[in-house]
Every structure is written in structure tokens, then in C-alpha cells.
A and B are shown apart, each in its own frame.
Chain A
Amino acid sequence: MAEQMLAADGRPLKASLNRALRRQKMRALLLIAPLLLFIMLTFIVPIGQMLFRSVENQIVGDTIPRTVVALGDWDANTDPVPDDAVFSAFAKDLMIAVERKQHTRLGSRLNYETSGISSLFRKSGRRVDDIGEGYTDQFVAFDPAWEDPLTWATLFGDADWITAQAAWDGEGDEPAFVLSDDANEMLPRTADIYAAFAEVIQTENNDSPTEEQPWNVVYLALYEELRTYTGEPNYADLPGGEIIFAAEDAVRDFAPQSVRAAFADIDEDWEDTAVWQTIQTYSPAFTAGYFLNSVDLQKTPGGPAWQPENEQIYLTLFWRTMVMSLTITVSCILLGYPVAWMLANLPARKANLLMILVLLPFWTSLLVRTSAWKVLLQQQGVINDTLVWIGLVADDNRLALINNATGTIIAMTHILLPFMILPLYSVMKTIPPSYLRAAKSLGATNWTAFWRVYFPQSVPGIGAGSILVFILAIGYYITPEIVGGTKGVFISNRIAYHISTSLNWGLAAALGAILLAVVLLLYWAYDRIVGIDNVKLGG
């Protein structure tokens, strides 16, 4: 075996070198760490979080978990309306959600998919506390002890918690309710809803389960559980369990109350298949629904389907955004190229003056510039007035230059022009004038000299300017909003609507994600066709 080379301190040279290298890398990393951290915190994390919303749908499962489970094997084709078990689970979920003030939030979420659910939830939330009242009355009529909060607390509370609660003097934090293991085993469904009741009473209402009568849905749960009692387990084992033992016989004679009928009484829409299908379709914690919606599809039980034709809008807007951004980019090249050429070839003093004129728009507010276009372009505006005065246009047939696609293209070309001129200028500045002279001295015409010698060298500037202008244009929002009318608005205007008016952030995030993907795709295509190395922002 060859002897290892050793460093001065006796370690193997290879390891020593590696260590030094690693230390260098660490130091470099530490140097950029503040910037990296800053970018992570202010850019990557928020964008990631926002994009995550486009698939996130936990609100349904979190707010009405029992209903989601009960709806699991419901099939709308065999049974247009779910059975009483689903309604019963929903009554309990809704009761808890109402107390936690979460039901209207879920209603708004589901209303994005089916109109009318928002008010259905709001309306039902006001009356859900009556559901199950029939059973409460019958339990209490059978034995008034059922009215006593302590009866319930004794049955379902853990012995230690009961002691702690009894000792609590009202000062400091109330001991949090603990469910007794025995009750949880013997009466799992009632225990589940009673525990939820106790928790809500303590956290939302700052009351004690020992002093508040349970909700009607708790009685409903107890009835359902006793109704299917098979002789096991022995309730007498529970503390104070005799009362259940007695009730177990009595419930057979109770008059049954239909939960479904109770909901139908609140609003007949609860017997509408579409409402339950929406809830079922949007039960999972993650959904592709927002992405489907953003390309004019909708999520149905039978898979994706087109939206009704009169609601399709997003594909049109995506397409329009692309086409108009491209038009704006091309207009910027056509207008910007000669200006950049002049800037690069004029004597320094004149070039500087011209440069200031190019930069001046940068220093004025975007809104001011856009509003100025309004004054210029409108039918009673400066341009139309001039054209009428010259006689090019008839007074009763003035040009429509604003509140349409033309307006957006004109105003945005003007606003984005500097982003084209500056990279073009900095590239042209580096093209030696001697090349053109050499071409001409070898017999080229002006056009050939420009087209074969000068233009190819300025292509990297066009590439950089085009990427800048196109990507800026694709996400533009305020200018199309002001001058675009109805035919000149972009997809960003819809994103803004969903962010600030409809609060449908999931859909906004999905639209934004698609826009980002399209830009990345175009960037990739540009790299394949032109090559990104060919882009220059300067010499």
C-alpha cells in the first residue's frame, strides 16, 4: 500500500485539503446568508404559501369532519339526497361550527362552487340549535335529571377533572374538560359530541360544562346511540350510569324525529342533490378544483367538465394576455430600435439630452401617465380633435382609441418603452462604428451593411429588451384596468378581482401559478430557440 501523503499537522493531505475547501465554502455561504435569508423570507416563502393555496382545501374537512366521513359512501346516482345519518352528522358539525363562528366561512368557500350555499349556511346556522330539541324534551320528560348539566358532566367527565372543576374557585384558568375513558368506550358517539360541547363552552363562551345544559344535538346523539343498543356494554359501570340504563329502555318509545326533515324545514335546498354533491366533491384536503376553474373547467363527481359556455372567461383572457403582450413587445421593438440607435450614435451632449427624455416617464407616476393617455385618446380628446380639425376623420365618426384593446396597447407600449430602449442602447454602444464603415468600404449598400453587420450584433439587446417588456406586460394590471375597457383587460385584472373583491384566493393563486408556468415555459422555449447566452443587458 502506498504511503499516504501527510500535511504538516500529520493529517492526510486529502482530508486536510477538503477541510480547507469546506471552510471556504462555508465562509462564502455565510457571506451571502443575509441576502439568502432575506430572499427566502420575503420572496420564496410568501410566494410558496400563496401558490399552496391553489390546491389547499382543508377547510371542509376541518369544519365538518363527521359529515365528510358520513358522506364517504353516499352515491348521488342511487340516492338523490343523503340519508338521516349524514344529516345527523351534519347537524353536529354545524352546531360546533356555529359556536366557533366558522360556518359562514365554509359557506363562502362552497359558494364559489355552487351559488346559494353561502346564505344556506348562514340561514341554517341561525336555526341549527333547534335540531334535536324533540329528543331533549322527551329525555327531560322521562327524567328531569337529564336537564341538569351535572348529570352529563358526571357521566362523561374524567374523575380527576370533576374533582379539579369542583375545586376551581372561578379565579385563574378553568380546568380544561377531560373525557372519561369509560364513557368514550361505551358511548363513543355521544362522548365525541359532548367533549366538543364541553370544549366549546369553555373556550368560546367562558362557561362551565357543569353549569350549561348540553346542546340539543348531544341529546340527539345519545338517542341514536341508545336506539341501537344491543345489551352490551353495561352502562351501570359508569359513574351515575343508572340513568342511562333507565333511559335505554325508554328511548324505544320516544317519537322519532327526522333530522333531514328538520333541515328541509329550515331551507328546502338541503334536499337539493347539487348542494351535497358540492360538499362531497370538495371534501378532500387538497383539490384540483381551483386549477380546473382557472381553465374554464369544473370539478364534477364524474370528473372534469367544461363550465357552461356563458361562464367561460379565463382561457380567453389568458390567450388575450399573451397576444396583446406580444403585440406590445413588437411595438416596443419597432419604436425603440431607432431611438436606441440615435442614442448610441449621437454626440454625447445630444445623446444625454435624449436620454433624459427617455427616462423622464420613469420619474412620473404611472397613474398620471395613464390618465394623461385618457385625455389624449378619448373621443373628445386631443388626438381625435386634431384629426377632425385636419379633416382626416369625420366629426360624427371619431376613432375609438380608448376603452378597448387599442388603448391598452398604446398606453402600455409607451409605459414599457424605456425597458426596451435601455438594454438596446447599452448593447449598441458596444458595437464599434468602424464595422459599418468597413462593410461599406468593401462595397456593401447602406441596407446590407446594417442588416448583415449591425443588426446581428444588436440582437442580444433585442432579446433582453423583449424578455423584460414581455414579462412585465403579461402581469400588468393597473393600465389595462384604466384604459382597457372590456376588450383590453388582462388575466391579472381577474386575479386582482379574486384577491380583493371575491376573496377567492385559491382561484387567484391558481391563475397566478398558471401565469408563472406560462412565463417559465416561454423562457425555456426562448432559451432553446435563441439561447439565453445571447441576451445582454450591457457591454
Chain B
Amino acid sequence: MKLTKALMTTSALTLAGTVVWAGGHMADEMTIVSWGGAYSASQQAAYHDPYMAANPGVTIINDESSSEGIAKMRAMNEAGNITWDLVDLEAADAIRACDEGLAIEVDHDADLAAAPDGTSASNDFGDMIVSDCFIPQIVFSTTFGYRTDMVPAGVAPPTGACDVFDLETYPGKRALNRNPIANMEWALLCDGVAYEDIYDLLETDAGQQQAFAKLDTIKDETIWWTAGAETPQLLADGEIFMGSTYNGRLFSLIAEQGQPVGMAWDWQMFDLDGWVIPAGLSDERLARVMDYVNFATDTQRLADQAKYISYGPARMSSAPLVSTHATLGIDMAPHMPTEPGNAENTFVNNYEWWADYRDDLDAKFQSWLAQ
């Protein structure tokens, strides 16, 4: 304990020293944490490279730890040594980080750029601001892909989530996420529960049982995935007939790899991804991060990211600027989850509700899976 105290005092002194010395300067180095793979590459091209070009002397270091984001943020926070400057998290995790005091609150209007037509940032992002700590970036969705060559003859291809439960029309294995989020909602919805009653019903034992009973009908035919890359692999190998995953993964499977896979968009589950700023940064590092975030979340930059990956920009003003894919040259709009044709029936992840019930339902879900 004494040692910890000594360490903390030293770092506090160093910190105080830097602040005085910096006198309002910005740090030259930033560690930005994201998900890796194609997603990080799209951020590199749309945000990091232009920012570094505009600010010579600034280095951005990529860290691909977002899947362990909040756990590591908490560990850093407890150790009093924050090595990350900006973290890309899903909205649910961002809410958790905010609750735990691991991320700082931002004033969206003051800290972020307004839209080109002058609309304030908070209005431009609208409902996407699900937490005071959360700076929205993209809208993605969990949706379904199916093997076009495995659709039985004389049957119309599946169109959405409820076809997963229809084993008679569409025999074959399925793949679903190994956690309750989205699956429970789909189960109730496809069991005939009205959209607006779902979360109220899920709070009750009867509602949970109804959802599990519906899932029971396909349990033996389902492979439960934990990583977003699993469903695309299972589809490519013909292991499953249809499965859920993130829409960007399906896009690359279809458009980039040319697999015989189709999209079933109906009742896709919308989800958000965005930045949070860790609590406890020094003034100079915070100033640099704020400057970067202001740049990287403006209308043009968010639209630019859609050139590289098929996730929808979180700003309303960015939508009209979405153009074609950077290398394939295809029009990106039809592949966006937010495209009106794809978004006829959608679900929006009810973050507040899941923050309350996730642990409880997850225990029940895992227990159900283990039976």
C-alpha cells in the first residue's frame, strides 16, 4: 500500500509538473484504441491519415484492444496510469465506462463541430448520443446473411430475422450470437409479441420463458458464435444456412469475396459505436484528444469512413455525402444499414434496459445454453 501511495504521489507530481511546463500546449503523441482489422483500417484512412497530414509532428499509435476496452480502462484507472488517449467502444460499453467514472463527460455542442448548415452537433447526432461520455461515430447492425445456393427450390429466399425460426421452410444450421442481446428480442418478436411490448415483457419471468421457449425450437440447429468473424466463415464453408453477424462483415463476404451469400435485413438490430475519452488525462493530452475528436467526427470525416466499410455515419448531415467504395467503386448507400430499403423494420438496442438486465439475463441465457 505504501508503495502504491509513493508511486501515486510521484506520478501526481510528474503530472503537475507536466501541466505547468506544458502551459496549454498539446501532446504530440496519441494512443487510439480500436477494434483492429478492416475497421481500424477504415479509421486510419478516413481519420488518422488526414489528421496527421494536417498536423505534422503528431503521431497516432493504434492499439487494437477495444474488445477488452472497459476492463483495461478500469485497470488503468485503478493504477492511476492512463496510457490511452481515446477509446473506440460500443455504446453499451461506453455507458458502463461512464457509470464507472472511467470516461469523461463531453459537452457535445461545445466540443464537436457543427454540421455544415449550422445544425448543432447534439441535434445532428440526435438520439445517437446515448450517454454524456459517448461521441457517436457509426451505426452498425446485427443482421442476417444466408447461403443463396442453399435456399430450397421453389421457395422465396429469407428476408429477415423471423425466418431463422422457420425450420420447415428453411432447413439447415443457423448461427446466433452467444449472448442474450438481440436474440431475446427476436425470439419474442417472431413469437408474435408487438414491438413496443418487448422490453416490458422481457422484464418478467413469463416473458423470459416465452423467449427461451421460442429459442428452444432452433437450439439444436444453432451454432453459437462469440466473435463477429465466425458467421462469415461458417457461411463461406457452407456449415450453416443462415446466421447473424455485423453487417460490415457480410458486406465484405459478399462484395469483396464474392461468396454466394444474400442479406436478410428485416428486423436488423441497430447498434452504435463511438469514442470515449478516458478520465485522468493530463491537460496537454486532453487538449490534443479534443482537437482530434473535433476533426474526426465532423460531417465530412464520418462520411469518408463509409468509403472503406459499410457502416452508416452517425451524423444525419453525413448521409447525403456517402459515396462509392474506395477500391471496388460500387455505390455504398445500398449496403448501409440505414438505407431506407434495408431499414423498413429495425430494432434499436435499448441500452438503458440492457444495462440493467444484462447480467441477470446473461446468467439465465448461459444456464439455458448449458442445459
Contact of A485 among B223, B237, B356, B358 (CB under 8 A): B223
| B residues in contact with A378, CB < 8 Å | 234, 237, 239
Decide if A499 touches B99 in the complex (CB within 8 Å): no
Q: Which residue of A lies closest to B209 (CB)?
A: A310
Q: Bound complex: CA of A319 vs CA of B13, how far in Å? A: 50
- Total residues of chain A contacting the partner, CB 8 A: 41
Decide if B367 touches A313 in the complex (CB within 8 Å): yes
Q: Which residue of B lies closest to A106 (CB)?
A: B99
Decide if B366 touches A105 in the complex (CB within 8 Å): no
CB proximity of B183 to chain A, nearest CB, Å = 13
Interface residues of A in 291-324 (CB under 8 A from B): 310-313, 316-317
| A residues in contact with B352, CB < 8 Å | 119, 122
CB contact under 8 A between A312 and B356, given known A108-B99, A500-B67: no
Q: Determine whether B357 belongs to the interface, using a CB cutoff of 8 Å to chain A.
A: yes
CB proximity of B229 to chain A, nearest CB, Å = 10
Decide if A487 touches B99 in the complex (CB within 8 Å): no
| A residues in contact with B358, CB < 8 Å | 502
| B residues in contact with A500, CB < 8 Å | 67-68, 70-71
Decide if B370 touches A115 in the complex (CB within 8 Å): no
Q: Determine whether A154 belongs to the interface, using a CB cutoff of 8 Å to chain B.
A: no
CB contact under 8 A between A494 and B96, given known A115-B359, A486-B178, A503-B70: no
CB contact under 8 A between A105 and B100, given known A119-B355, A313-B363: yes
Decide if B356 touches A313 in the complex (CB within 8 Å): no
Q: Give a binary string over A365-399; 1 marks a CB under 8 Å from any B CB, 0 the rest.
A: 00000000011001111000000000000000000
| A residues in contact with B68, CB < 8 Å | 500
Contact of B357 among A102, A116, A482, A487 (CB under 8 A): A116
Q: Determine whether B360 belongs to the interface, using a CB cutoff of 8 Å to chain A.
A: yes
Interface residues on B, range: 35 or more
Q: Determine whether A403 belongs to the interface, using a CB cutoff of 8 Å to chain B.
A: yes
Decide if A310 touches B100 in the complex (CB within 8 Å): no
Q: Determine whether A278 belongs to the interface, using a CB cutoff of 8 Å to chain B.
A: no
CB contact under 8 A between A115 and B71, given known A108-B99, A380-B238, A481-B226: no
| B residues in contact with A115, CB < 8 Å | 356-357, 359-360
CB proximity of A20 to chain B, nearest CB, Å = 34
| B residues in contact with A381, CB < 8 Å | 237
CB proximity of A467 to chain B, nearest CB, Å = 28
Q: Determine whether B309 belongs to the interface, using a CB cutoff of 8 Å to chain A.
A: no
| B residues in contact with A122, CB < 8 Å | 99, 352
Decide if B101 touches A105 in the complex (CB within 8 Å): yes
CB contact under 8 A between A107 and B99, given known A115-B359, A118-B355, A502-B358: yes
Q: Determine whether A111 belongs to the interface, using a CB cutoff of 8 Å to chain B.
A: yes
Interface residues of A in 481-505 (CB under 8 A from B): 481-482, 485-487, 494, 497, 499-505
Q: Bound complex: CA of A133 vs CA of B325, how far in Å? A: 57
Q: Determine whether B368 belongs to the interface, using a CB cutoff of 8 Å to chain A.
A: yes
CB contact under 8 A between A380 and B239, given known A107-B99, A313-B366: yes
| B residues in contact with A497, CB < 8 Å | 362
Decide if B239 touches A101 in the complex (CB within 8 Å): no
Q: Bound complex: CA of A380 vs CA of B98, how far in Å? A: 45
Q: Determine whether B364 belongs to the interface, using a CB cutoff of 8 Å to chain A.
A: yes
Q: Determine whether A286 belongs to the interface, using a CB cutoff of 8 Å to chain B.
A: no
Q: Bound complex: CA of A107 vs CA of B353, how far in Å? A: 14
Decide if B368 touches A310 in the complex (CB within 8 Å): yes
Decide if A310 touches B364 in the complex (CB within 8 Å): yes
Q: Determine whether B224 belongs to the interface, using a CB cutoff of 8 Å to chain A.
A: yes
CB proximity of A49 to chain B, nearest CB, Å = 9
Q: Give a binary string over B345-357; 1 marks a CB under 8 Å from any A CB, 0 the rest.
A: 0000000110111
Decide if B370 touches A486 in the complex (CB within 8 Å): yes
CB proximity of A124 to chain B, nearest CB, Å = 13
Decide if A118 touches B367 in the complex (CB within 8 Å): no
Q: Bound complex: CA of A389 vs CA of B194, how far in Å? A: 49
Q: Determine whether B214 belongs to the interface, using a CB cutoff of 8 Å to chain A.
A: no
Decide if B99 touches A105 in the complex (CB within 8 Å): yes
CB proximity of B95 to chain A, nearest CB, Å = 9
Q: Give a binary string over A426-440; 1 marks a CB under 8 Å from any B CB, 0 the rest.
A: 000000000000000
Q: Bound complex: CA of A433 vs CA of B31, how far in Å? A: 61
Q: Bound complex: CA of A380 vs CA of B364, how far in Å? A: 32
Decide if A403 touches B70 in the complex (CB within 8 Å): no
Q: Bound complex: CA of A107 vs CA of B68, how far in Å? A: 22
| A residues in contact with B226, CB < 8 Å | 481-482
| A residues in contact with B288, CB < 8 Å | none
CB proximity of A398 to chain B, nearest CB, Å = 10
| B residues in contact with A313, CB < 8 Å | 363, 366-367, 370
| B residues in contact with A102, CB < 8 Å | 101
CB contact under 8 A between A494 and B359, given known A104-B100, A403-B223, A503-B71: no
CB proximity of A207 to chain B, nearest CB, Å = 18
| B residues in contact with A111, CB < 8 Å | 355-356, 359
Decide if A502 touches B223 in the complex (CB within 8 Å): no
| B residues in contact with A379, CB < 8 Å | 173, 239
Decide if A485 touches B224 in the complex (CB within 8 Å): yes
Decide if B356 touches A119 in the complex (CB within 8 Å): yes
Q: Determine whether A112 belongs to the interface, using a CB cutoff of 8 Å to chain B.
A: yes
Q: Which residue of A lies closest to B67 (CB)?
A: A500
| B residues in contact with A316, CB < 8 Å | 367, 370
Q: Give a binary string over B219-259; 1 marks a CB under 8 Å from any A CB, 0 the rest.
A: 00001101100000110011100000000000000000000
Q: Give a binary string over B99-120; 1 marks a CB under 8 Å from any A CB, 0 the rest.
A: 1110000000000000000000
| A residues in contact with B233, CB < 8 Å | 374
A–B Cβ pairs within 8 angstroms, 15 of them: A101-B101, A104-B101, A105-B101, A115-B359, A117-B356, A119-B355, A122-B352, A312-B367, A316-B370, A374-B233, A381-B237, A481-B226, A485-B223, A502-B359, A503-B74
4 additional A-B residue pairs with CB within 8 Å, beyond A112-B359, A374-B233: A108-B96, A311-B360, A378-B237, A486-B370
